[in-house]
Amino acid sequence: MAEGIPALLLPQPVKVHEVRHTKIFINNEWHTSISGRTFPTFNPATGAKICDVEEADKEDVDKAVQAARAAEQRGSPWRRMDASSRGRLLHQLADLMERDRRLLATLETLDTGKPFLQSFFIDLDGSIKTLRYYAGWADKIHGKSLPVDESFMCFTKHEPVGVCGAIIPWNFPLLMFMWKMAPALSCGNTVVIKPAEQTPLTALHIGALIKEAGFPPGVVNIVPGFGPTAGASIASHMDIDKVAFTGSTEIGQLIKEASAKSNLKRVTLELGGKNPCIVFADCDLQLAVEETQKGAVYNQGQCCTAASRIFVEESIYEEFVRRSIETAKKIVIGDPLDPQTSHGPQISRQQFDKIMDLIESGKEEGARLEYGGSAVGEKTLYIQPTIFSGVKDHMRIAKEEVYNLFQFTTDGSDTGMEIFGPVQCIFSFKRQQEAIERANNSKYGLVSAVFTTSMDRALTVSAALETGTVWINCYNALHAQTPFGGYKMSGNGRELGEYALAEYSEVKAVTIKLSETL
Ligand code: ADP
């Protein structure tokens, strides 16, 4: 991102002496937790505590839900507001985020360890564009008039679902917040949002901007806290009408179960993947090398879209591996607040240990370690970008489940969830049909990618891939206009695009008896 640009010309982080917003945000006011508890949030780059944050639990979630319910009642300022005014408020929030962009990017980097320019450009751009996209939709959400049988007239209306819960992961705290909040508000809902316990800071700053933008009290409520307490309270709450979750498959299953056992609230889930890339010999090789590597190690590999299984046609396999190593050497590991850095630390010790364990088991089982494979420095959370090739039939490291890294099966087929670390696993294939079968041989189906210069092949293979997104000659190409979500166990429902509006609307059919057929 920073390549070739003098450091002085790059946007710079702001100096954060003290984090201003660390409390629970309900009804446009800041609250201490009912239990009196707080929890610390840490900078993964240094291990230093950034600040303590008020810890929301069930009682605080109840309070937030009451506020959100009151704000969405018929006759409330939010429900009476013109749809176009809702859109204006969303634009107003986007303007304030642009004003505070450097501060938000700095907070995101402090809390997650992701490189500052990535926060500044990718996360902030994506968040602001998502808001503006749904701001535009607010007064364009409408039903249909239907040609029903006999002497009736029927039309449909799209109404808000009501109070929407959102549970956010730590890898893209601000972006995932916006993917959920923006369509929910565009459709006229109110929200109760729980940021991940590792990364609550940008969400809380957004609370301040929500108030400044002029949203009525109770429309947006933010409850920082832990998963099994605050998160579980949202999932099982009797007065929440819908919950949107991004995170691990295990927790996604718990959320769906909690919904079933409580009030059958609507559930959308964006879970993991074990995402295949198929690289054909006729591709633009350098492009394929760079994009697949970006796919594997971007955000320190902590992406549900991570390119976990890279299948390369046999005739270009060696050259692909060689160039992947050369490209990996250009990755700049360093202080995430330095705009020249392109690779930061993992989020936590727990994640770091799991990834290192799996890298070690990969080495022991005889996968060829082509590059990296070690921690960087002593007692840090940095892991070198790592490349494994030469995956052989007998290798088997771990099976299934989150973080049980790469199971080197005989053919690179279903290997459980993504590694969530900066590790690239490169397999080879001989025939197109074989590559498709191996790519689809997974219980997940989030994203996939195809690299080829043949449009015919690109379309044929993309039709055969069982994933919610197929990227052709690109990777991680996400846009506010494009729906995102998974097939199979990668989730339910879609975020982004017009499709997401359906997840945040109820459809009401109104049928009128007429005295005669029109
Ligand atoms: P990760 O393992 O990557 O942290 P999780 O799926 O555990 O991913 O976390 C994603 C989000 O889900 C976080 O906000 C977390 O607090 C929340 N969460 C974790 N456990 C639960 C749970 N039992 N119920 C509801 N939310 C949870």
Domain that holds residue 379: 276-480
Domain holding 37: CATH number?
Answer: 3.40.605.10
Report yes or no on 504 lying in a domain.
no
Q: Where are the beta strands (DSSP E) in 95-250?
A: 145-146, 152-160, 163-167, 190-194, 220-222, 242-246
**Residue 470, CA atoms < 13 Å, CB-side half-sphere:** 18
Catalytic pick among 108, 197, 270, 466? 270
- The answer to whether the CB of 188 is under 6 A from ligand 1 is no
- The answer to whether the CB of 228 is under 6 A from ligand 1 is yes
Last residue of a domain, one of 202, 226, 246: 246
For residues 225 and 283, state if they share a domain. Answer: no
Long-range contacts of 133-137 (CB under 8 A, 24+ apart): 133/182, 133/480, 133/481, 134/90, 134/182, 134/183, 134/185, 134/186, 134/480, 135/87, 135/88, 135/89, 135/90, 135/91, 135/94, 135/182, 135/186, 136/87, 137/87, 137/183, 137/186, 137/498, 137/501
User: What was the pLDDT predicted at 403?
Assistant: 34
**407 CA to centre of ligand 1 in angstroms:** 24
User: What was the pLDDT predicted at 243?
Assistant: 98
pLDDT tens-place string over residues 287-331: 999 999 999 999 999 999 999 899 999 999 999 999 999 999 999
User: What was the pLDDT predicted at 411?
Assistant: 54
For residues 209 and 357, state if they share a domain. Answer: no
User: What was the pLDDT predicted at 399?
Assistant: 31
User: What was the pLDDT predicted at 37?
Assistant: 98
- The answer to whether the CB of 247 is under 6 A from ligand 1 is yes
Report yes or no on 495 lying in a domain.
no
> Atom of ligand 1 at shortest distance to CA of 420?
3
> Taking 60 as the threshold, does the pLDDT of residue 402 lie above it?
no
Report yes or no on 267 lying in a domain.
no
Please tell me whether the overall predicted TM-score, pTM, comes out greater than 0.85 for this model. Answer: yes
- The answer to whether the CB of 47 is under 6 A from ligand 1 is no
Residues 2-26 have a mean pLDDT of 86
> Taking 50 as the threshold, does the pLDDT of residue 398 lie above it?
no
Domain holding 433: CATH number?
Answer: 3.40.309.10
Report yes or no on 515 lying in a domain.
no
What is the percent of the chain where pLDDT is above 70? 93
Residues 390-398 have a mean pLDDT of 47
User: What was the pLDDT predicted at 407?
Assistant: 44
For residues 47 and 120, state if they share a domain. Answer: yes
Give the list of residues 6+ apart from residue 403 with CB closer than 8 angstroms, or none: 351, 354, 355, 358, 417, 419, 420
- The answer to whether the CB of 77 is under 6 A from ligand 1 is no
- Name the residue with higher pLDDT: 328 or 417: 328
For residues 432 and 336, state if they share a domain. Answer: yes
**40 CA to centre of ligand 1 in angstroms:** 17
- The answer to whether the CB of 169 is under 6 A from ligand 1 is yes
For residues 123 and 84, state if they share a domain. Answer: yes
- Name the residue with higher pLDDT: 405 or 212: 212
For residues 205 and 118, state if they share a domain. Answer: yes
Residues 159-166 have a mean pLDDT of 98
**49 CA to centre of ligand 1 in angstroms:** 21
> Taking 50 as the threshold, does the pLDDT of residue 286 lie above it?
yes
Report yes or no on 485 lying in a domain.
no
Provide the number of structural domains found in the chain: 2
Q: Judge whether 56 and 232 are in contact, CB under 8 Å.
A: no
- The answer to whether the CB of 231 is under 6 A from ligand 1 is yes
One-letter-per-residue 3-state SS of 212-258: HHCCCCCCEEECCCCHHHHHHHHHCCCCCCEEEEECCHHHHHHHHHH
- The answer to whether the CB of 230 is under 6 A from ligand 1 is no
pLDDT tens-place string over residues 242-270: 999 999 999 999 999 999 999 999 999 99
User: What was the pLDDT predicted at 9?
Assistant: 80
Angle at 55 between CA 160 and CA 98, to 5 degrees: 60
Our answer to whether residue 270 is catalytic in this structure is yes
- The answer to whether the CB of 117 is under 6 A from ligand 1 is no
**28 CA to centre of ligand 1 in angstroms:** 25
pLDDT tens-place string over residues 52-68: 999 999 999 999 999 99
Q: Which of 385-399, 401-415, 487-501 has the lowest mean pLDDT?
A: 401-415
Catalytic pick among 187, 277, 283, 304? 304
Our answer to whether residue 3 is catalytic in this structure is no
> Atom of ligand 1 at shortest distance to CA of 226?
16
Residues 283-290 have a mean pLDDT of 98
Report yes or no on 493 lying in a domain.
no
Last residue of a domain, one of 204, 230, 246: 246
Residues 204-221 have a mean pLDDT of 98
For residues 338 and 445, state if they share a domain. Answer: yes
Report how far residue 449's alpha carbon sits from residue 467's, in angstroms, rounded to the nearest whole number: 10
**154 CA to centre of ligand 1 in angstroms:** 43
> Atom of ligand 1 at shortest distance to CA of 195?
14
Residues 322-349 have a mean pLDDT of 97
Residues 106-111 have a mean pLDDT of 98
For residues 307 and 240, state if they share a domain. Answer: no
For residues 237 and 285, state if they share a domain. Answer: no
Residues 196-200 have a mean pLDDT of 98
Protein residue with its CA nearest to atom 16 in ligand 1: 227
End-to-end CA distance of the chain: 62
For residues 160 and 296, state if they share a domain. Answer: no
pLDDT tens-place string over residues 367-376: 899 999 999 9
Token reading at 113:
């360890």
**117 CA to centre of ligand 1 in angstroms:** 27
> Taking 70 as the threshold, does the pLDDT of residue 518 lie above it?
no
Would you place residue 275 in the very low, low, confident or very high pLDDT band (cuts 50, 70, 90)? Answer: very high
Report yes or no on 318 lying in a domain.
yes
Would you place residue 396 in the very low, low, confident or very high pLDDT band (cuts 50, 70, 90)? Answer: very low
Would you place residue 395 in the very low, low, confident or very high pLDDT band (cuts 50, 70, 90)? Answer: low
- The answer to whether the CB of 296 is under 6 A from ligand 1 is no
Report yes or no on 46 lying in a domain.
yes
For residues 237 and 288, state if they share a domain. Answer: no
User: What was the pLDDT predicted at 317?
Assistant: 97
Protein residue with its CA nearest to atom 21 in ligand 1: 227
Residues 151-160 have a mean pLDDT of 97
For residues 406 and 295, state if they share a domain. Answer: yes
User: What was the pLDDT predicted at 367?
Assistant: 87
